[in-house]
Amino acid sequence: MINTDLQRDEARYKAQGFGNEMGMVGKIGLLIVDFVNGFADPQAFGGGNIPQAIARTTTLLAEARRLGWKIAHTRIVFADDGADANIFSLKVPTMLGLTEHNPASAIVADLAPEPGEYVVRKTVPSAFSGTPLAAWFVTHGVQTVVVAGCVTSGCVRASVLDAMQAGFRPVVVSDCLGDRAIGPHEANLFDMAQKCGDVLDLDTLLSRLPNC
C-alpha cells in the first residue's frame, strides 16, 4: 500500500530543498553506536528491532574490517559511584547503572572490538560530545562516517547530527539501526535523510563501495 502521507511529506521537503544526497568521499570510517548487552536486552534498554539491526551490522563490520576502515564503537559508561551523573541521567536514571564493569555496558559479543578499533566511553547521547572521536577520525583522514547502532531516535540521531556539524558526511545504514519502538525509528530515519545524512540500506551501501 502506498503511503500517501509520506509521499506528500517527501514532496514538500524536496520542494523546499531538503534531502539532497551528499555521497561518500575520501576515507570512510565506521561508527557503531551503543550496541551493548543492555540495549540488546528487551528487559533492560532494548526491544523493537534492535536484535535484527545487530545481526545486520555483523556483515557491515566484517566488510569495514576487510576494507581497512577506521572503526569506532561507543558505550555509555558512568562512574561506579555516580560522580559524573548529569542531565541525561537525571532524565533516565537507570543509565547510571551502565558502569565500566557492568556486563550491560559491554559491547555485544558478535560485534566485539578488535585491536586498533577505538572504543568511545560517553555519558551523553552523542558519540562526539565531550569525546576525542572527531579528532580521532580527522587524524586518520576520515571524511565520510558510516553509522550503525541504537537507538535511532536517541544516541544515533545525536551522533549523526554532531558528525555533520563537525564536517563529516554521515551515511546512515537504515537496517543496521535499531530502536525500542518502531515509530520513532522510522520518523528519525526520515528526518535524518532530509537534514543531516544520507540514509541507505546495507545492500545499497555495499553495492556503492567499489565506486567510493
16 to 3, 21, 159, 188: CA distances (angstroms): 20, 15, 25, 19
- Which residues have a Cβ under 8 Å from the Cβ of 36 and sit 6 or more positions away? 75, 76, 98, 104, 105, 106, 107, 108
3-state secondary structure of 86: coil
Active site residues: 155
Q: How far apart are CA 122 and CA 192, in angstroms?
A: 22
Burial class, 58, CB count within 10 angstroms (exposed 0-12 / middle 13-18 / buried 19+): middle
